[in-house]
Structure 1
Amino acid sequence: MEPLEGSRGVLYVIACAAPAAADLHHLVPLAQTSGWQVHAVVTPTGERFVDIPELERLTGDLVRSTYRMPGEPKGLPPADAVIVAPATFNTINKWANGIADTFAVGLLCEVMGFGVPILAVPLLKDALARHLAFGRSLAALQEMGVSVLFDPEAPPESRMPSWERIMQELHTVVGGRQTQG
């Protein structure tokens, strides 16, 4: 499916296993209203948090969580931007270290290599946010060009920004960049 004329392009929304993923179906219409063609990817554990049939209905596409088998056609068009929200401790650390043991992390590692703008929105417990590996991983991802929307000083119940705020930040990250379409 090619991006529509005048659209912003293809947006991958990648969700991990955190409570905010249950509301991912609220992000898709916001992105579509802003001109994005949305494709959803979830981590294997993240599948338990999202409403896959609803996401597939909203996007008109399969929600992906596993690598395709050899000989199967590629299912995703090239991305123009990526949102990783909620991004968990596990995914942030594996991604920063290139441990592509899930489709979601492998896809993130690959799109970084293409220079696609990526916005990561971590959501994790205070104790995990204080872990040395997490801080190092965030710094590594930022050094590789990933934009991060995370306030470690925010109270845990307020740490996940609204989907509207996430879209606003994505548009700031993407800026005037031309899409592939």
Structure 2
Amino acid sequence: MDVPAQARGVLYVIVCAAPAAADVHALVVLARAAGWQVHVVTTPMGAGFVNAKKLERLTGDLVRSTYRTPDQPKGLPPADAVIVAPATFNTINKWAGGITDTFAVGLLCEVMGFDVPIVAVPLLKDVLARHIAFGRSLADLRRMGVRVLFDPAAPPNARMPSWGQILQELHDLIEVGPS
């Protein structure tokens, strides 16, 4: 593990069950090179889409997907920023509705209470993107200060920006503040 030259703080990367999750290690590499201490959390289904061993080697930390038990120590330092990518229909809707039945969504709901900068990048089927609940959830998250990167006019296979663009969007959000 290389130590970044300039420390930016703690970045949570929340990963859901979508094909792009298989490449999230590329985001981790970019974020670490930019000075972030990265911690990866997956949804329970998202855990099957990532290479946890590779992510643990890159971050020096466990990939978490479940709540800890009372006898386990707290393992995550407070977040300075969060990227949720890829974010699924299910996670977006539960997060916006405050339904914390997974560790990942519970963590997102808690972090919002600390005014931590968050970038969310939904990746879902076109038919789900047209669902009324999804549109409401995106609007609610935006009202709560989340930077949502989602273009419904883009073709489904081109809706998710590159990992580099996502990280740059987070850096812009931190520098400029919410829009």
Task: State the TM-score bracket (shorter-chain normalisation).
Answer: over 0.9
- State the AA in 2 paired with 1:151: D
TM-superposed CA distance for 1:175, in Å, is: 1.1
Please give the TM-score of this superposition, normalised by the length of structure 1.
Answer: 0.94
Once the two structures are aligned, what percentage of the paired residues are identical? 74
TM-superposed CA distance for 1:55, in Å, is: 0.4
Q: Which residue of 1 aligns with 2:104?
A: 104
CA distance in structure 2 between the aligned counterparts of 1:89 and 1:10, rounded to whole angstroms: 26
Q: Which residue of 1 aligns with 2:35?
A: 35
Residue 78 of structure 2 aligns to a residue whose secondary structure is coil
CA distance in structure 1 between the aligned counterparts of 2:108 and 2:141, rounded to whole angstroms: 11
User: For 1:40-59, what aligned pairs fall within 5 Å after superposition?
Assistant: 40-59=40-59
CA distance in structure 1 between the aligned counterparts of 2:88 and 2:102, rounded to whole angstroms: 13
Unaligned runs of 5+ in 1: none
Q: Which residue of 1 aligns with 2:21?
A: 21
CA RMSD of aligned residues (A): 1.5
Aligned length: 175
- 1:111-146 alpha-carbon deviations (Å, 9 max, x no partner): 000110000000001110000000000000111111
CA distance in structure 1 between the aligned counterparts of 2:85 and 2:6, rounded to whole angstroms: 26
TM-superposed CA distance for 1:174, in Å, is: 1.1
Q: Which residue of 2 aligns with 1:159?
A: 159
Q: Which residue of 2 aligns with 1:139?
A: 139
Unaligned runs of 5+ in 2: none
CA distance in structure 2 between the aligned counterparts of 1:88 and 1:106, rounded to whole angstroms: 15
CA distance in structure 2 between the aligned counterparts of 1:92 and 1:176, rounded to whole angstroms: 24
- State the AA in 2 paired with 1:59: T
- State the AA in 2 paired with 1:33: A
CA distance in structure 2 between the aligned counterparts of 1:176 and 1:153, rounded to whole angstroms: 26
TM-superposed CA distance for 1:71, in Å, is: 2.5
CA distance in structure 2 between the aligned counterparts of 1:176 and 1:130, rounded to whole angstroms: 31
- State the AA in 1 paired with 2:92: I
TM-superposed CA distance for 1:67, in Å, is: 0.2
Residue 124 of structure 2 aligns to a residue whose secondary structure is coil
Q: Is the 8 A contact 2:4 2:32 kept in 1?
A: no
TM-superposed CA distance for 1:176, in Å, is: 6.4
- State the AA in 1 paired with 2:11: L
